[in-house]
Amino acid sequence: MSTPPTAPFRWPAEAIWEAVAPVLPGFTVEVLPQIDSTNTELMRRFRAAGPVASEPVLLVAEQQTAGRGRMGRSWQSQAGDSLTFSLGLPLQPADWSGLSLAVGISLAESLEPGNPAAPAIRLKWPNDLWLTDAQGGESKLGGILVETANWGELRYVVIGVGINVRAMAEALAPAAGQPAALAPGALQTLLPGIDVAETLLRVAAPLVQAVQAFGMFGFSPFQARFSARDALAGRIVKLSDGTQGMAHGVGENGALLVHTAAGMKEITSSEVSVRPMTPPAPGSARAC
């Protein structure tokens, strides 16, 4: 188990507010020492008060006691091990498909700028960040959980993010009947000395910009950037219905393209859980 920090975190709330407020009116930053789940809290607020609770907010938790991931997984860690936060705001995109992918792209590029030819941070469709090492080993760096709610015609989205910053014994527990999770990685192996506060400062403002761009233009402008970090392209994957095939990137709508015995299939996040079966094929293309 990781050793708890010896001094209080110095969260860059003011710096983030100054960067975001001019482009997102009403934006606030809130930091809590402990909560069950930042996603759950923002959804509670909106469902209880609707428009009154719909102003943009970045809610950060130093520690979550009941953090949630996709497919019923739980996210648990000691304070300082993981950065956990949720961004809540009204959003009205023409098509919601691919939002979690756009979020992943923003996070990966903020933590590993420059989009190198062989990025260490890759994106596993539809909502995970994977860390690769020099030997080709893979570990889970982070996860994304997108939830929405309606109040009349108002659509509110909550984007939850968890990023493993320090090495830990375990972070993501599988739900009953689900396959074992990938071993947790640590951002500090890529960026030595970084802490949760600095990680938040790196990712917060670019994330808001990415979400706003998605709201205006959808996923299509993000497609090529996703392909550059696609962890599944060229790999044999197994779908939740037992079908196997080779992943061929994503379409303009963010759907995973899988070539199966029955032909090419478009897979959406609501239909399947995807587990990679093999490493990428040598020289395989990453574009769809």
Alpha-helical runs (H) found in the chain: 13-20, 38-49, 99-111, 196-217, 223-227
Q: What amino acid positions are annotated as catalytic residues?
A: 70, 140, 275
Return the SS3 of 143.
strand
Cβ-proximal residues to 286 (8 Å cutoff; 6+ apart), any chain: 227, 228, 230, 233, 234, 249
Burial degree of 31 (CB within 10 A; 0-12, 13-18, 19+): middle
Query: Alpha-carbon distance 43 to 139, whole Å?
Result: 30
The residue to which tokens 């899988």 are assigned: 258
Q: Which residues pair with 121 in a beta bridge?
A: 131
- For residue 218, which amino acid is it? G
Q: Which residues pair with 237 in a beta bridge?
A: 245, 276
The residue to which tokens 């069950």 are assigned: 36
Token pair in block for residue 158: 């909550």
20-29 as b/e: b if 16+ CB within 10 A: beeebeebeb
